[in-house]
Structure 1
Amino acid sequence: MKYYKSTLVFVLSLCVIAVAQDYAWPVKVGKVVSSNFGDPRPRRFHAGLDIATKGASGHEVVAVDTGYVERIRVSSDGYGRVLYQKLSDGRTAVYAHLDSFTELLDEIVRVEQNRRQSFEMEKFFRPNEMVVNKGDLLGYSGDSGGAFGPHLHFELRDTLNQPINPFISGFGLDDRHRPKPQRIAVIPLGADARINGNTLPQVFPIRRISTAVYEFPDTIHVLGAVGMALSAVDEITGFSIKYNITGISLSVDDSERFRLEFDRYNLTKNHLMEMTYDNSLRRLNDGDFTRLFITDDGTKSDFVKGEGTGRLLLSPGYHSVALRLFDHVGNVSRIQGTFYYAPSVRIKTEIISETKSSLTVAVSPDGNPFAITDFVCYAFNNKGYLERKIEATSRKLEGRNLIVELPRKPTEERVLQFIGINRLGGVSEPFHLSYGNDIADHLTIPFELSLAHLENSVVLEVAARGYFDQTANLTLKGEGERNVPLLQRRPGVFQSDPLPPEALRNGESAVLTISGAATRETRFGLLTKVADGGTNETAVSTDGECTLLATPTTFYDTTSFWIETVKKPVEVENGRFASSVYQLQPFDRALQNTAKVSIKLKKSETADKKGIFFYDRREGWTFLPTEFSIVDRILSAPLYSLEAVAVIEDTIPPHIHQFIPGPNSSYNSESLTQIVGKVEDELAGVSGQEAIEIDLNGERLLFEYHPIEKEVRYRFDGVLESGAYKLTVAATDQTGNRSERVINFKVN
Structure 2
Amino acid sequence: MKRNHYFFIIISMICIAGGQNYHWPTIGSKALSSNFGEFRDGGFHMGIDIKTLGETGWPVYAIDDGHISRMVANFNGYGKALYLTLNDSHTAVYAHLEEFTFQLETILLTLQSKNNSYMVNEYFNLEKFPVKKGDIIGYTGNTGASFGPHLHFELRNSKTQPINPLTNGLPVEDYRSPRVHQVGIIPLSPASKVNGSSIPRVMPLYAATTGGGLQFPDTVSCFGPIGLTIEVDDKIQGAANKYQVQSIQLLVDDAPVFSLNYNELDYGQMATVSQVRENRFHRLNLGSFTKLYKLETFSSTTIVPDGISGALNLTPGYHKIEIQVSDAAGNTTIIKGTIINYPPVKVAIRDVEWLDNTIEFNIQPVTLNIPLTEVTCYSYTAYGYPDEQLTIVNSKKDRSGLRIELPKSKLGKHGVSFIVKNKLGVHGSPLTWHDPNADRRLTEMEIDITFSAVEHKIIAQIQTNGFTSGNTALRLLKEDEYISIPLEKIQPTVYTTDLLLPSLFNNTLRIDAFFDGDIERIIQLDLSPSVVSPGEITNIFSKDKNCSIQITKTSVYDTTLVWIEAIDHPVEPKGGTLQSLIYQIQPYELTIKDSIRIGIRYSHHIKYMPNTSLYYYNQKSGWTFLPTNNLQNRMVMASNLLSFDAIAIIQDTDPPFVRKVYPANGGNFHYKDVRTISVIVDDYLSGISSDEQTMSMKLDGEPVRYAYQPLKKELYYYLPTPLNAGEHTMEYSLSDQAGNQVSGSTTFRVN
Per the normalisation by structure 1, the TM-score is: 0.94
Q: 1:614-693 residue pairs with structure 2 within 5 A?
A: 614-690=616-692, 691-693=694-696
CA contact (8 A) 1:624 1:637 kept: yes
Q: Measure how far apart 1:358 and its partner are.
A: 2.5
Instruction: Verify: 1:151 aligned to 2:154, yes or no.
Output: no
Check conservation: 1:464, 1:492, Cα contact below 8 A: yes
- Kindly indicate whether residue 489 of structure 2 is the aligned counterpart of residue 494 of structure 1: no
Partner Cα distance (2:674, 2:437) in 1: 76
Q: Secondary structure at the match of 1:301?
A: coil
Q: Within the alignment, does 1:142 sit opposite 2:141 as a pair? A: yes
CA distance in 1 between partners of 2:576 and 2:311 (Å):
48
Compared CA separation, residues 383 and 657, structure 1 to 2 (3 A): closer
Q: Following TM superposition, by how much is the alpha carbon of 1:667 offset from its aligned partner in structure 2, in angstroms?
A: 4.4
Q: For residues 594 and 128 of structure 1, do their structure 2 counterparts lie closer, same or farther at Cα, with a shift above 3 Å needed?
A: same
Is residue 739 from structure 1 mapped to residue 738 from structure 2 by the alignment? no
Q: Distance in 2 between matches of 1:665 and 1:211?
A: 68
1:438-467 alpha-carbon deviations (Å, 9 max, x no partner): 112112323222101112421112222111
Kept in 2, the 8 Å contact 1:414–1:437? The answer is no
Unaligned segments of structure 1, at least 5 residues: 1-15
Once the 2 structures are TM-superposed, how far is the Cα of residue 738 of structure 1 from its aligned partner? 2.3
Which residue of structure 2 aligns with residue 53 of structure 1? 52
Pairing of 1:206-605 with structure 2 (within 5 A): 206-209=205-208, 210=210, 212-305=212-305, 307-435=307-435, 438-477=438-477, 481-505=482-506, 507-605=508-606
CA gap of 1:19–1:186, structure 2 versus 1, over 3 A, is: closer
Deviation (angstroms), 1:331? 2.0
* Partners of 1:698 and 1:556 in 2: CA distance: 56
Contact kept, 8 Å, 1:227 with 1:293, in 2: the verdict is yes
How far did residue 413 of structure 1 move? 2.2
Which residue pairs with 1:705 in the alignment?
A: 708
Residue 117 of structure 1 corresponds to 116
Tell me which residue corresponds to 2:202. Answer: 203
Q: 1:353 to 1:432 in 2, by over 3 A?
A: same
Closer, same or farther: CA 534–49 of 1 in aligned 2, 3 Å: closer
Structure 2: unaligned runs, 5 residues or longer: 1-14
- Alpha-carbon distance between aligned partners in 1 of 2:663 and 2:413, rounded to the nearest angstrom: 71
Q: Which residue of 2 aligns with 1:611?
A: 613
CA contact (8 A) 2:83 2:93 kept: yes
What is residue 11 of structure 1 aligned with on the other side?
Answer: none
Q: Which sits farther off after the overlay, 177-186 or 403-412?
A: 403-412
Q: Output one character per residue of 1:238-290: Cα deviation in whole Å (capped at 9) or x when no partner.
A: 33432211111111111111011111022111111111111111011111111
- Is 1:716 matched up with 2:722? no
Code of the residue aligned with 2:644 in structure 1: it is L
Instruction: State the SS of the aligned residue for 2:108.
Output: helix
Alpha-carbon distance change, 726 to 502 in structure 1, aligned in 2, over 3 angstroms = same
Contact 2:79 2:96 in 1 (8 A): yes
> Structure 1, residues 317-344: CA drift from partner, whole Å, max 9, x if none?
1111111111222222211111111122
Task: State the one-letter code of the partner of 1:581.
Answer: I
- Cα deviation for residue 670 of structure 1 reads 4.4
* Larger deviation, residues 708-717 vs 455-464: 455-464
1:68 aligns with 2:70: no
Q: Partner residue of 1:6? A: none
Q: Provide the rounded CA distance (Å) in 1 between the counterparts of 2:670 and 2:314.
A: 78
Q: Give the aligned partner of residue 22 of structure 1.
A: 21
8 Å CA contact 2:452–2:459 kept in 1: the answer is yes
What's the CA shift string for 1:11-68, capped at 9, x where partnerless? xxxxx99696122211112211111111001111111111111111111211222222
Q: Matched residues in 2 for 1:628 and 1:499: separation? A: 38
Residues 109/717 of structure 1: CA separation in 2 closer, same or farther (3 Å cut):
same
The letter for the 1-side match of 2:634 is D
Deviation, structure 1 residue 602: 2.7
CA distance in 2, matches of 1:171, 1:314: 41
Q: CA deviation at 1:427?
A: 0.9
Residue matched to 1:12: none
Alpha-carbon distance change, 20 to 334 in structure 1, aligned in 2, over 3 angstroms: closer
Question: Partners in 1 of 2:327 and 2:687 — Cα distance?
Answer: 41
One-letter amino acid of the structure 2 residue matched with residue 112 of structure 1: L
Q: Does the aligned pair in 1 maintain the 2:370–2:423 contact within 8 Å?
A: yes
CA contact (8 A) 2:689 2:734 kept: no
CA deviation after TM superposition for structure 1 residue 663, in Å: 2.8
Structure 1 contact 687–733 (Cα < 8 Å) conserved: yes
Secondary structure, in 3 states, of the residue corresponding to 1:708?
coil
Distance 1:450 1:18, change over 3 A: closer
Q: Distance in 2 between matches of 1:314 and 1:581?
A: 44
How far is 1:211 from its partner?
6.6
> What is the CA distance between 1:360 and its match in structure 2?
2.4
For 1:525, what is the secondary structure of its paired residue? coil
For 1:144 and 1:445, the matched residues in 2 are separated by 57
Residue 122 to residue 306, structure 1, CA distance change in 2 (3 Å): closer
Quote the Cα distance in structure 2 between the aligned partners of 1:262 and 1:363: 49
* Counterpart mapping for 1:165-204 below 5 A: 165-204=164-203
1:466-497, Cα deviation, whole Å (9 max, x unpaired) = 11102112112355642211222212222222
Query: What is the alpha-carbon distance in structure 1 between the residues aligned to residue 434 and residue 121 of structure 2?
Result: 72
User: 1:7 maps to which residue?
Assistant: none
Offset at residue 657 of structure 1 (A)? 4.5
Note if contact 1:294-1:300 (Cα within 8 Å) is conserved in structure 2: no
Tell me the CA shift for residue 682 of structure 1: 1.3
Quote the offset at 1:500 in angstroms: 0.7
Residues 237/17 of structure 1: CA separation in 2 closer, same or farther (3 Å cut) = closer
Alignment-mate amino acid for residue 706 of structure 2: F
Shift of 1:631: 1.2
Given that 2:17 and 2:171 are in contact with CA atoms closer than 8 Å, whether structure 1 keeps it comes out as no
**2-structure distance, mates of 1:189, 1:107:** 59
Give the partner amino acid of 1:694: M
CA RMSD of aligned residues (A): 2.0
Q: Among all aligned residue pairs of Structure 1 and Structure 2, give the percentage whose two residues are the same amino acid.
A: 30
- Counterpart CA distance in 1 for 2:142 and 2:115 is 24
CA deviations 1:663-696 (Å, max 9, x no partner) are 3445455443222111322111222042212233
Is the 1:414–1:436 Cα contact (8 Å) retained in structure 2? no
Contact residue 262 and residue 303 of structure 1 kept, 8 A: yes
Is the CA contact 1:705–1:713 (under 8 Å) kept in the aligned structure 2? yes
Length, aligned pairs only? 733
Using the TM superposition, name which of 303-312 and 213-222 deviates more. Answer: 303-312
TM-score, normalised via structure 2 length: 0.94
Report the CA distance between 1:107 and its aligned residue.
1.1
CA contact (8 A) 1:275 1:300 kept: no
Structure 1: distance between partners of 2:503 and 2:706: 53
Q: Any idea what the Cα deviations from partners look like across 1:400-422, whole Å, max 9, x if unmatched?
A: 01122323322232111112111
CA shift for structure 1 position 698: 4.0
Per the alignment, residue 8 of structure 1 pairs with none
* Map of 2:6 onto structure 1: none
Deviations 1:188-222 (A, max 9, x none): 11122111111121111111115742111111111
How far residue 381 of structure 1 moved from its aligned partner, in angstroms, is: 1.0
Q: Is the Cα contact below 8 Å between 2:456 and 2:590 reproduced in 1?
A: no
